[in-house]
């Protein structure tokens, strides 16, 4: 028996660095998974798992900002697997740009992706969960939603909003037996920080990653598995008394 045995889980951002690990781990813990990301077809570990266990995993591609896709993911969970137990809004868009150079279009894109889309998806998911006795929603926020960083005003605002959305949703959804929490990772070793550093020399890349590592008390980046461990815990009944929490998973970054 896995820790998520036969739970039905939606995960967004499923083809990203953390998402690939999360899909594999949820399946290993016994879950049925509806995975989604922007690409039309799955790749990497998600594609391999689709080939191995098509009866437990479904992939749907598209822009998560589309409300049609949000509704479709919940409908697929219910139609294919009978219900929805867990929503993990893991997708995210990052922009590293000085505040003075950030356009309103860029700000709107971050809010649409990191805040409006999780809100819309949660609406569809929570309605299905409420009709079926309850469930769990987990939002992937960021330390950027807790403290300020240079060049992260738009990203931080979207992720701070997402953390606050978790607290607020928790208060409305507790009577429906739906727990809602947010995790706030420190820097995780995925394509996201690599894109942030950009095309630079090897020495500049090493210096940038060294500086990012130094922000954490543990003096390194997180491995995606270390974030997913917390998500599995929150999704499981082991976290039955946790709701409305905004949880740093950050190697001590926000402790200093």
What residue ranges bind ligand NAD (CB under 6 A)?
Answer: 13, 15-19, 37-38, 63-65, 90-94, 113, 140, 142, 185, 187-188, 190-193
- Closest contact distance (angstroms) between CB of 142 and ligand NAD is 4
Per the residue annotation, which of 32, 59, 155, 196 is the catalytic one? 155
Helix (H) / strand (E) element for 249: namely: strand 246-249
User: 163 or 173: whose CB is closer to ligand NAD?
Assistant: 163
- Closest contact distance (angstroms) between CB of 64 and ligand NAD is 4
User: 133 or 210: whose CB is closer to ligand NAD?
Assistant: 210
User: 3 or 60: whose CB is closer to ligand NAD?
Assistant: 60
Is 59 labeled as catalytic in the residue annotation?
no
Question: Do residues 44 and 24 lie in contact, with contact meaning Cβ atoms separated by under 8 Å?
Answer: no
How far is Cα 34 from Cα 98, in angstroms, rounded to an integer? 36
Give CA 58 to chain center in angstroms.
18
Q: How far apart are the first and last CA of the chain?
A: 40
Backbone angles phi, psi at 182, to 5 degrees: -120, 140
How far is Cα 183 from Cα 235, in angstroms, rounded to an integer? 12
Estimate the crossing angle of helix 153-173 against helix 104-111, to 10 degrees.
30
- Closest contact distance (angstroms) between CB of 186 and ligand NAD is 7
User: 177 or 209: whose CB is closer to ligand NAD?
Assistant: 209
- Closest contact distance (angstroms) between CB of 255 and ligand NAD is 16
Q: Which residues are catalytic?
A: 155
């Amino acid at each position: 028996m896995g820790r998520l045995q036969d739970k039905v889980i939606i995960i967004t951002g499923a083809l990203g660095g953390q998402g690939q690990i999360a899909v594999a781990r949820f399946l290993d813990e016994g879950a049925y998974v509806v995975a989604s990301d922007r690409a039309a077809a799955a790749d990497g570990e998600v594609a391999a798992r689709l080939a191995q266990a098509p009866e437990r995993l479904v992939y749907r591609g598209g822009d998560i900002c589309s409300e049609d896709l949000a509704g479709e993911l919940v409908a697929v969970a219910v139609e294919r697997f009978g219900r929805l137990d867990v929503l993990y809004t893991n997708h995210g868009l990052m922009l590293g740009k000085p505040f003075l150079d950030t356009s309103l279009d860029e700000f709107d894109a971050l809010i649409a992706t990191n805040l409006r889309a999780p809100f819309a998806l949660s609406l569809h998911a929570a309605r299905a969960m409420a009709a079926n006795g309850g469930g769990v929603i987990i939002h992937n926020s960021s330390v950027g939603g807790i403290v300020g960083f240079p060049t992260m005003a738009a990203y931080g605002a979207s992720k701070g909003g997402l953390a606050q959305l978790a607290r607020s949703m928790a208060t409305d959804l507790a009577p429906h037996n739906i727990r809602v929490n947010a995790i706030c990772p420190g820097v995780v070793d995925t394509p996201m920080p690599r894109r942030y550093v950009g095309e630079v020399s090897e020495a500049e890349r090493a210096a940038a990653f060294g500086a990012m590592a130094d922000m954490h008390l543990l003096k390194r980046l997180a491995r995606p598995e270390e974030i997913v461990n917390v998500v599995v815990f929150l999704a499981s009944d082991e976290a039955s008394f946790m709701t409305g929490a905004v949880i740093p998973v950050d190697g001590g970054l926000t402790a200093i």
